[in-house]
A and B are shown apart, each in its own frame.
Chain A
Amino acid sequence: MSDQKITIEFNDKVVRQFLLASVIWGAVGMLVGALIASQLNYWRLNFNLPWLTFGRLRPLHTNAAIFAFVGNMMFAGIYYSTQRLVKARLASDFLSALHFWGWQLIIVAAAITLPLGFSRGKEYAELIWPIDIAVALIWVVFAVNFFWTLARRREPSLYVAIWFYIATIVTIAILYIVNHLSVPTSAVHSYTLFGGVQDALVQWWYGHNAVAFFLTTPILGIMYYFLPKAAERPVYSYRLSVIHFWSLVFVYIWAGPHHLLNTALPGWMQTLGMTFSLMLWAPSWGGMLNGLLTLRGAWDKLRTDPVLKFFAAGVTFYGMCTFEGPLLSIKAVNALAHYTDWIIGHVHGGTLGWNGFMAAGMIYWLIPRLWNKPLHSVSLANIHFWLGTVGILLYVGAMWTSGITQGVMLNATTEGGTILAYPNFLDTLNTIRPMMLMRVIGGGLYLIGWFLLIYNLWKTVAGAQPVNGTIEVFEDVGEPVADEKMTLVGTFLNPPVAFSILGVGFSCAWMFGGDFMSIAGLIGLMLCVVLAYAHFESRGKSWAAWYDRLLVNALPFTILTVLAVAAGGLIQIIPSVISHRAANVEDRLQIPYTPLELAGRDLYVSEGCYNCHSQMIRTLVPDVLRYGDYSRLGESIYDHPFQWGSKRTGPDLARVGGKYPNIWHLRHMENPRSISVGSNMPNYPWLLTTPTDVAALPVKISVQRTLGVPYPAWTDAQIAANVDTQAKGISDDLRAAGGYVARDKQVIALIAYLQKLGKYETVAPFKAVPR
């Protein structure tokens, strides 16, 4: 090792850029949130304009909050802390700049395309395919920049924050790519590769783990760096870090199906989703404990330091949400809470409380260091904290009240349980209106707090000179010395990994094997636990020594992380994807959409109807009483993308077909309140004047055929004729009922689609499926 000392300058420019971007996009995302929350109470705020309706803006809000606000904040935190934790400047200034500008370009593209109605129709995965490719590429740029920096590190051992960053980068890459697989039909439209239940499963494997690996693990890493720094206290427990990191990344992935409880999803996956969610409670609280207990001995600083206030409250909200998550995953609780505002309250406890407060704490801590100037006003930051806290409590409290109230009303029965106590859905909606207003007030307070941060930042930074951190290091890049290097064999052939793999293998044999395999698996699992315990008690030191070695070997560490996160996804998704379609049908098979209905369905997706309407009648008595027979898997098997939905601001639509006459739908789309007094649905007047894009149908149908939907080999002319005949029928029927709309208008296609919902043919289970 050379004794030559050199000074390296960190790339803090990109940190400043990401930080400012996060602050600005955060404000944009929250403003859109405040608007759409108000729209729920005052439908006029949809302004009868397509690009300002709730269905199009809600995806903008969620995508902005996740990818623009938290994304940029995460990149700032990761880049700042990683350079210091590994004692190396970011590997490439070019890649850093490309990462920053590429990401902002993606956000701008999203902010334009989503209001225009370009959408893939899957939550938090709405962006159209060209933008998806850009996201994947920029993520690779991020990964290369990060791992290249690790490769040039002068600090051989990886700190716990880096573990979480590694897990984030590799897992998001896997999730994002798999859930965005689609076949384009044009430059702005595509159909998802998976359909029906497979698409539902992949979507919530992604959706749940986007929460895990985009909103949780990177922020835990950021907590492990910035919280001890700000508190000037040692981290509470290293071994807790180890246990909670590995259990969190392993268990999280399995829990995705808890978004699909009591639905048509096969029971074994629902059971996995619920039980793994409960198992996730302790690993999540491990992170909270390590955060809060690190503050021991620094509690007095909380009185004065806004940074620590934000961190302490943020970690507390994390603990609250990760307790609430398992609770909501219990099937009985989920039956009440799912599709209601309780879930909205739950996620905002996470985003506002955990993400938003960790972001604020980090930003207040970074500003003086990145611009070498004390914060303009500590009292303003304190006011921000209190406004934010009161805002979150009002918001979350309102949503709990609202969700439980509506859930109880929707599930209430009377007359010996034979009929619904509130058959009119709108009665339940209008009961919670005061709570919806309270939510806007809470969110508004939080937003005002954020504006205080922006003002404070502005006053501090204006006229200040940006500074880049430096460090003195020995010239040599610290390669692990020979006896610390870990081979592939060493990565796997060691007690902790071997016992883990055996344990998971035996568990799977027990869960999925036949009679004999099950028993063998259970016995094997118990033996494995006993042996592992005995070995750890007698030779625990060798486990610790191996882990110390692993920490200086970034590649083996990354490989093991990938394996830990991949297991759950593979075991849940592969059986569903490779099984013959017939196995996913039960006793009913969807009748494929006619071309006109397909065009209507694309409108349904594009307008974001799924943001408020589900298409999934659960195996619950109140659902069946309200919406009809419970949904079977086969009834959405040809749906690319699936539209089961996750929220019922309005009623379920799975069996709405044939329930009302065409004229009902026309009047309802034109002005929902002319039919449903007290409805908060936007008006859709443009559907009555905009023509349907019939020219796109031949390509769309050909793509659907590729995806396995049994369409005949129609010519373009046949498709056009088919569309025309069906459209004329609906138009004539509307005319007979006194409401004329030309047959080429979008509303005709949409009515055709809505009237098809719930149409199926009966088939013998597990056979008699065409093709």
Chain B
Amino acid sequence: MSDSPYEARSAPRPGSPGSRPDSRDAVLPVGAAGRYPERPERRLALVDLLDRVLAGGVVLRGDLSLCIADVELVRVSLSAVVASVSALTDLADAPDTEVPPT
């Protein structure tokens, strides 16, 4: 990159090893993978990720996705997320990466 702004800060650069706990595993071929062993912090990070990939990103009308309306995609996927709510709330007291305001 001609502009190399990431050097200007101490935080890890996007996509670099260790930038996020789950970024390394994410390249697994998922077609046949089925189930991942989920650590609590990964379950929580998943909610943030789904928030973004399902409701964010540019919406392009692919010729095949015409029948998957955005609203429907979110609705369909939301039911999967809601199904995991009990799992998430069970993890309420699990250690996580949150920092209290100092």
Q: Do A and B bind each other?
A: no
